[in-house]
Each structure stands twice: as structure tokens, then as C-alpha cells.
């Protein structure tokens, strides 16, 4: 769940990254070699992306979706963010280009895909790839993208 504290933290992190990038650009540690200055300016941006994804992947949505999954006769065993390989398997290019990505930023507070391992009432285990959407009114929507039964 994204809270006002999370939004403030992301904005603060962005401001610090921007200030560090500008500061490192004015430092000119290596006057003759421009490529080193460029690399030093990229360090805060790389750190920003790493911290942003770390904070985003720490979030857990299972407590908000537990009741909805119980209505589908699923019990959540665990949840995790998608691995890089799984992200690219479910990559939808049109969602990351132009109008769709901008509209998603305006329309939703949080939009992410998660991996859930669940068990149904018959004792069968399933792997679910679920798109979780948090609206600005703090309501949660979800869409099950893929279901795989685990055979023992």
C-alpha cells in the first residue's frame, strides 16, 4: 500500500538525487576527461533507481487481498515481487509507451505485478501472477494474469 509517507519519501529521494547530480556536475573532478565526469554524475541516478526498486519491492499486498482470495477458495502461502526474467515474460510494450503509462500514473496510486503462491481447498498449490492496482481512494483491484498448478 502506498501512503503519503511513501510519496514524500520518493519525492525526497528524487530531490536528493537531482541535487547530487547537479553538485557532481559542477565539481569537475577530472577537468580533462569528460567521460569520468559523466560517470560520476550517473552514480546518484543509479543509486536512486536501486533504492526506488528496493523500497517498492518491500511492499506486501497479501493482507489487503487475503479476503478476496479466500472468496476464490485460495489461501496465500507467500508473496514476492516478480523476478527480472518474469517481468520481461509479462512485459507489455504498449503499457510503457506514451499515453498508457501517463494515464496510469494519473489514474492509479500504485500499479504493480506480484507473484503469489497459493493453495486451494483441495490442497493443490498454484503460482499466480497478479496485477495489483491501488486507486487514489485506497481501494485495491487485482487481475490474475497467469495461473500455474504446481505438481508434486
Highest mean pLDDT among 19-23, 36-40, 61-65, 122-126: 122-126
Question: Rounded to whole angstroms, how far apart are CA atoms 113 and 146?
Answer: 11
- pLDDT value for 82: 84
pLDDT-derived band of residue 136, with 50, 70 and 90 as boundaries? confident
Torsion (CA) 55, 57, 59, 63 in degrees, nearest 10:
-170
Find the DSSP H helices in 28-82: 34-58, 62-71
- pLDDT value for 41: 77
- pLDDT value for 117: 92
Q: Which residues 6+ apart lie within 8 Å of 64 measured at CB?
A: 1, 140
pLDDT-derived band of residue 138, with 50, 70 and 90 as boundaries? confident
Q: Is the CB of residue 62 less than 8 Å from the CB of residue 80?
A: no
User: Hunting for cell 547530480 — which residue is that?
Assistant: 21
Question: Rounded to whole angstroms, how far apart are CA atoms 109 and 3?
Answer: 9
What percent of the chain shows pLDDT beyond 70? 79
pLDDT, mean over the chain: 79
DSSP 3-state of 127: strand
List pLDDT tens digits, range 68-121. Answer: 888 988 999 988 888 877 776 655 554 555 455 566 667 787 788 889 999 988
pLDDT at 39 over 80: no
Question: Rounded to whole angstroms, how far apart are CA atoms 152 and 149?
Answer: 10
Amino acid at each position: 500500500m502506498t501512503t503519503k509517507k511513501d510519496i514524500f519519501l520518493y519525492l525526497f529521494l528524487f530531490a536528493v538525487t537531482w541535487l547530487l547530480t547537479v553538485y557532481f556536475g559542477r565539481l569537475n573532478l577530472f577537468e580533462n576527461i569528460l567521460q569520468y565526469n559523466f560517470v560520476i554524475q550517473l552514480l546518484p541516478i543509479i543509486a536512486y533507481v536501486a533504492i526506488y526498486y528496493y523500497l517498492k519491492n518491500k511492499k506486501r499486498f497479501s493482507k489487503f487481498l487475503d479476503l478476496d482470495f479466500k472468496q476464490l477458495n485460495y489461501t496465500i502461502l507467500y508473496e514476492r515481487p516478480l523476478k527480472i526474467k518474469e517481468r520481461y515474460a509479462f512485459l507489455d510494450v504498449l503499457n510503457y509507451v506514451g499515453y498508457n503509462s501517463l494515464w496510469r500514473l494519473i489514474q492509479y496510486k500504485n500499479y504493480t505485478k506480484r507473484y503469489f503462491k497459493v493453495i486451494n481447498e483441495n490442497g493443490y498449490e498454484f503460482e499466480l501472477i497478479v496485477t495489483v492496482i491501488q486507486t487514489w481512494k485506497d481501494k485495491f483491484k487485482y487481475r490474475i494474469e497467469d495461473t500455474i498448478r504446481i505438481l508434486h
